[in-house]
Amino acid sequence: MKHLFVCLLLLLSTSSFMFGQTKQIIKPRNAPSLPYPFSPGVISNGLLFVSGQVGTDASSKLVSGGIEAETKQTIQNIEAVLKDGGTSLDNVVSVTVYLTNIDDFPKMNAIYKQFFKEGTYPARTTVGVAKLVLGASVEITMTAAIPPRGK
């Protein structure tokens, strides 16, 4: 009987995947809006995948102030998507950072680490690229786990 109960729990926990409800689009109302065909975030199977974000303000203009200001605004934009998706930076498991000037890595890194608790940093890859949308210096994408409700 105990095994039957466990099997029923497993079936119920995977039923949304089995019945075609495999993704939910996350689009924060107050987040910058760019005219490109992508969703700011997509939830699937307990994870929130945040599309690449750049340092645009609420009017969708790139912030001024260089790599530090862009990195800060980019992560704040990601935080809005994470919040609307029911999670936070504390639950980020993977990050990819794209820099148009790899020499900006130390400056980006100094801002980036302010948003995470030391010792709990997510996995991360940083890549140097030739160009980014809107002339941005940095673009960041993140994947976060969604904690069970009530936690």
Q: What is the mean pLDDT of each run of 10 residues along the chain (151 residues)?
A: 39 45 82 75 96 93 97 97 96 98 98 96 98 97 90 52
Element containing residue 108 per DSSP (H, E): helix 105-112
pLDDT at 58 (0 to 100): 87
Strand order through the sheet with 24-26: 24-26, 41-44, 47-53, 138-145, 92-99, 123-128
pLDDT at 35: 72
What does DSSP assign to residue 142?
E
DSSP code at position 45: T
pTM: 0.82
- According to the model, what pLDDT value does residue 37 have? 80
Which CATH code fits 22-145?
3.30.1330.40
